[in-house]
Amino acid sequence: MQKITKKDMHLRGKKSSDLAFIIKTDLLARYNPKLLKWIDKADWFGPIFVPMSSIDVSDRADWEAIDRHGKIEEMAGGMQLGYCKPIILIQSEKKLILLDGHTRFLSRESIDGKDIQAYIGTVNNDDWKQMKRLEKNGEEGGKR
């Protein structure tokens, strides 16, 4: 996969530190603050529309969101009306890694599966992986 870089993005607008604040504030509603410390150290850009085919979904069978059929359908209806809160992705060597927004991803996929709005972070350590593991045992919209 060709790496997505900042210079390729036309919708950056805000500084990485501003985006880190926005992302962290949103995630605080669902995650323990201790799991979010790495966000301030990441380099962020977006929101930008990303081809869904560039996102790694190899672990989708483990997603807690996969069985939330009612929520997926409800969210897809909102997306068709223009609601599209960005998902959170992490840049990797191969594909982008879906960190938060699994239900939104599945909702968008049920509509057309083309592009989805996302924030993309570049991280120089593995601190974010603890948060990623929670998707396998996550609670429906609950504090993780």
> Considering the entire predicted model, what is its pTM?
0.81
Q: Whose structure tokens read 């966000």?
A: 39
Give per-residue pLDDT as tens, 13-28.
468 788 999 999 999 9
Write out the H or E segment, with its range, that includes residue 115: strand 115-122
**pLDDT confidence of residue 137:** 55
Percent of the chain with pLDDT over 70: 83
Q: Is the pLDDT of residue 55 over 60?
A: yes
> Residue 8: is its pLDDT beyond 50?
no
β-strand pairing of 87-90 with 96-100? antiparallel
Alpha-carbon distances of 143 from 29, 64, 85, rounded to whole Å: 7, 14, 19
84-101 pLDDT, tens digit per residue, is 899 999 998 889 999 999
Rounded to the nearest angstrom, the gap between the alpha carbon of residue 88 and the centroid of all alpha carbons in its chain is 2
Q: Is the pLDDT of residue 5 over 90?
A: no
Confidence of residue 133 (pLDDT cuts 50, 70, 90): confident
